[in-house]
Structure 1
Amino acid sequence: MPPEPAPLAGATWPELTDRRPLVLLPLGSCEQHGPHLPLDTDAAVAGAVAERSAARLADADDTPDVLVAPVQPYGASGEHEGFAGTVSLGQAALELLVVELGRSLLRWAGRLLVVNGHGGNVEALSRAVALLRYEGRDAAWWPCVPSGSDAHAGRAETSMMLRLRPAAVRTGRAAAGPTDPIERLLPRLRASSVRAVSPSGVLGDPAGAHAAEGERLLAGMAERLAADADGWHVGEDGRLGGRAAQPARAVREATR
């Protein structure tokens, strides 16, 4: 039987010899999340979704070999650099980072799945994964986007952090920002920055957030991620998900 999913960082090299695991790499950011959420919100969510989905895969019959890599806490967050605390790698550096991590990791692992917690990473992530796949490496990425989520530091992210790290949420400082759909905000965001659109950094309304909703959102994403990993259909942009293009056993065969 394959070993249960475990943190990659806790393994020793002999324990990984002759294995071809699926490695989940959570990718977050260090950026402002309004006056009430911590800077590592995206990293915390991505890490939790990766761990929960790995546990679901391990609990299934005929389980694949799954490892969860340490969270990569920095991403491309240039749109948030108008706020203190934001630390951004930039698009070019993030792309190179993912490429080199993939090249190194896939020398011994069977598959790499980057679990992305920050929308600003998508451009660099898509290019990096496309290059890895062009080079013959089996990599993909998957977005942590809760169903019905608002744009940034609103009810969804506040609820998830109330579930994951309630002590880190400054509930008394929470306030609404612009609540327009992200499609309407994007032109202004691209032309200026988040700060020009929302002085607080919030895009949405955290009112009504609660831990029970956060649990529901996290569980839903973990379930979808586990199902997509089991099907392993990778789109042209490297994104994992959608209809299954391979048998459900494909991920198990590749990670034995």
Structure 2
Amino acid sequence: MPWGDGVELARSAWPEVAEGALVLVPVGSVEQHGPHLPLHTDGVIAEAVARGAARRLSARPALAAPCIAYGASGEHAGFPGTVSIGLEALRIVLVETVRSLSLWAGRTVLVNGHGGNAVAVGTALAQLRGEGHDVAWLGCGTPGGDAHAGRSETSLMLHLAPEQVRLSAAVAGDTRPLEVLLPHLVADGVRAVSPSGVLGDPTGATAEQGRALLEEMVSTAVRLVTAGRADARGRLVDAGDAPRPAGGREPTRP
């Protein structure tokens, strides 16, 4: 099929778009990912999760929208190449995107690839759900993965876009857990904690690991969207999940 596989909104002509469809909107960032990964890593991963989930959600028409490329990446501002639009601008973009989609879509799910976006996502969804929109969100974190540009993201990119990975330039960064690093990241930014920008260790990353991680994230997304259980800020959760703080960060993806 020369126009895509039937799940990509951007490749569709309007008569092919089913009214009432479920739309998954990837939300990424343009920010440093160490000396070895491209600036749009978060968007690449979020897009892959959205497309993979859309293909499997066959109970209703499902579409993966184009990625919202720019996010809130102020903690990475110390590195050339990073582009951050900030929390308030991102919140407005998300609100207006969902309002527009709601004119024809049945439900919108944001697929967030960058933990720094979570406050804006949570705030936007609280507003949108208060307005009566059928909208929720989920993250692309991998339990047990390292925080940023380490083995997890490097493996994912080796699977999704190997030609964009400079593996020979990969270096280990600060490997402390994110919960330990987070106060320092918020106060001083990533560069003060890790001059390379890496939070974790990409050593041993492989495309095979990346394929398995993506499968896990897509399967989780399908399960969460199908169950449809959301917390007060619209984050899709499993039945046994403990409530998260409103607008809380992703557990493994700053």
On whether the aligned pair clears a TM of 0.5, the verdict is yes
Q: Deviations over 1:175-212 (max 9, x none)?
A: 00010001111111111100000000000000000000
In structure 2, the partner of 1:34 is 34
Inter-CA distance 137–16: structure 2 relative to 1 (3 Å threshold): same
Q: How does 1:143-162 map to 2 (within 5 A)?
A: 143-162=139-158
Match for residue 195 of structure 1 among 191, 194, 200: 191
Structure 1 CA distance for aligned equivalents of residues 234 and 6 of structure 2:
24
TM (norm. structure 2) is 0.90
Inter-CA distance 81–178: structure 2 relative to 1 (3 Å threshold): same
3-state DSSP class of the match of 1:226? Answer: helix
The amino acid of 2:40's aligned partner reads D
- Percent identity of equivalent pairs: 53
Structure 1 CA distance for aligned equivalents of residues 10 and 136 of structure 2:
21
Report the CA distance between 1:57 and its aligned residue. 1.5
Establish whether residue 74 from structure 1 lines up as the match of residue 75 from structure 2. no
In structure 2, the partner of 1:224 is 220
Establish whether residue 105 from structure 1 lines up as the match of residue 101 from structure 2. yes
In structure 1, the partner of 2:11 is 10
The amino acid of 2:91's aligned partner reads E
Structure 2 CA distance for aligned equivalents of residues 243 and 172 of structure 1:
43
In structure 1, the partner of 2:203 is 207
In structure 2, the partner of 1:125 is 121
Q: In structure 1, list runs of 5 or more residues that go unmatched.
A: 245-256
In structure 2, the partner of 1:240 is 236
Report the CA distance between 1:5 and its aligned residue. 4.9
Question: 8 Å contact 1:5–1:54 — kept in the other structure?
Answer: no
Inter-CA distance 5–227: structure 2 relative to 1 (3 Å threshold): farther
Match for residue 163 of structure 2 among 151, 160, 167: 167
Task: Kindly tell me the number of residue pairs found equivalent between the two proteins.
Answer: 236
Instruction: Say what the alpha-carbon RMSD is for the aligned residues.
Output: 1.2
TM (norm. structure 1) is 0.90
In structure 1, the partner of 2:54 is 54
Structure 2 CA distance for aligned equivalents of residues 29 and 67 of structure 1:
21
Question: 8 Å contact 1:147–1:217 — kept in the other structure?
Answer: no
Structure with greater Cα Rg: 1
Report the CA distance between 1:9 and its aligned residue. 1.2
Question: 8 Å contact 1:162–1:210 — kept in the other structure?
Answer: yes
Q: In structure 2, list runs of 5 or more residues that go unmatched.
A: 241-254
